[in-house]
A and B are shown apart, each in its own frame.
Chain A
Amino acid sequence: MDSAQALQQLINGLTLGSLYALIAIGYTMVYGILRLINFAHGDVLMVGCYFAWFGAVQFGLPWWVALMGSMVLTALLGVLIDQGAYRPLRKAPRISALITAIGVSFFLENLGLVIFGGRPKAFQRPEIFNQLYQWGELRVLSLSVWVPIITAVILAGLMFFIYRTRQGMAMRALSRDLVTVHLMGIDTNRVVALTFALGSALAAAGGIFWAMKYPQINPLMGVLPGLKAFVAAVLGGIGNVFGAVLGGLLLGLCEIMLVAFLPDLAGYRDALAFVLLIGFLIFRPTGIMGEELPE
């Protein structure tokens, strides 16, 4: 493998990793506050893609308007799911909330199948993402270059929000101690809703770029990215936003390297995430950045 190919794989890995990172942030923020694995996160992403598809194809909106609109609608969906399905179970055993999340996930998938049908829909790449950049041996789709850049911008915004605003401070406080923060007069429910909104909006963005990468969408498309992004969140240390990004990049790079260096094992790439997960939970259960032990 020469250096051009290696660089190409590196870019591919970064792109895939950025997508995992965008999705993993939603998992990690919700887990950090509610200690709930939001199983439906991957399916929220799928619904976000359909919002964007309807915006772009049915209403002919420019891609960035469709993207923004979809992020807003998906944020609302995330809040709706939280208020409808998870909020009644705040005081219930954690496993009950997890089972509910699995139920919501299946509800979204099957409702998607009923409404949109099982046949994949083509997802057009906007012109700006559909160009082929070429430097000597190196050939890269512009999407692969833009995705890490856009992800970095979104992350910078998120970091600013979490570490420099009062709402972000409330969020960080909540992830330390939900009950005490409530006693100190913060409307915890609103902050939780805000967390779901942010996480879902980022998932929508991640999902839409995912859909542009494999230019099609279907109602079950969210399952694998969702699960793998969760694994990424655990790798990075769940509850830690920066860790989720690191975990996502690590997972993306590992997957691409597996396919690039061991093409015979390419079929096993979907299993790689779980093998990594099991390895991490045995040897370093706190993940790369995590501090506290999982229960």
Chain B
Amino acid sequence: MLTLDHLDKVYRTGTFGGSELHAVRQVSLDVQRGEVVSLIGESGSGKSTIGKMVLHLLDSSGGTITFDGRDVTRLGFRARREYYRKVQGVFQDPFSSFNPIYKVDRTFETLRRSYFPRVSAASWREKLEDALAAVTLEPDDILGKFPHQLSGGQLQRLLIARALLLDIELLVADEIISMLDASTRIDVLNLLGELKGRGLGILFVTHDLSLGNYVSDRVVILYKGRIVERGVTSAVFGDPLHPYTRDLLASVPHLDRTWEEVEAEEAERTRRLAGRCLYHEAVAAQGRSLGEEADAPDGVPNGLGLVEYSPGHFVGCFRKAADEACPGSAGAAG
């Protein structure tokens, strides 16, 4: 349904915009109906930038975004309005998504004015109650209240209800649970799982691996703007290949194992993959040498591409930062 193809984003930084920051490099991924795809990465990985480009809050610098076969990379004001009927976003801090001096109802009124001007008050109320029921909120508990009277979890579900009023097909959920308490967090996650069952596609942006793992069908691991590994959740989490993914998984605090135990368990995999690069090994096996990589058939320069290690499990070059040398280059060149 949603396809990103070789998406790029370059920010101009510095006082006069003289220097450039390559925030997203050649990112290709897709989200299907009824599927949760998690974008996982640390701060500065470009995960939020990707979400914002999909929502047209930022322009992309290269590549294309396609929605249902239609190129939506550049949209005019009118077209964008139509696009937002199908695609909506919810963000990290629910308290700053609401205007604190108005009741929460105003959020829905604004939506009604822009998108449903001809809907009668009675049928609007019915629609609203349906949407609130879908996110397991009681209309009487919520409507007529100010944002500070509601909990973060309630507000976050309210924002999802707002998105549902538009019959959306894709939801971009950017860190929507990181501000919530543990006891309410899981309710919002379960809600995402339920919406997925109703055919919604969800792009779930998070830095928390255990949350990403809980609901998502596929995960995309980003590092400094580049996809280092992506695939079916169980494959990536069960058999992490890229050194960055392995580091990340070994750093997650578990509740049943200490960090030392995790490191001991992973020692064998670490040894097996040390000094290697599965990407360049696969490229070499196809009969292309490293020097020709710039002309690779997939057209992705400078080792930013991915190879399919096992069905549905893709991994990129094993170097971490763009200016680092590939750990496998010594062996592969010889």
Do A and B come from the same complex? no
A interface, CB within 8 angstroms of B: none
**B-to-A contact residues, CB < 8 Å:** none
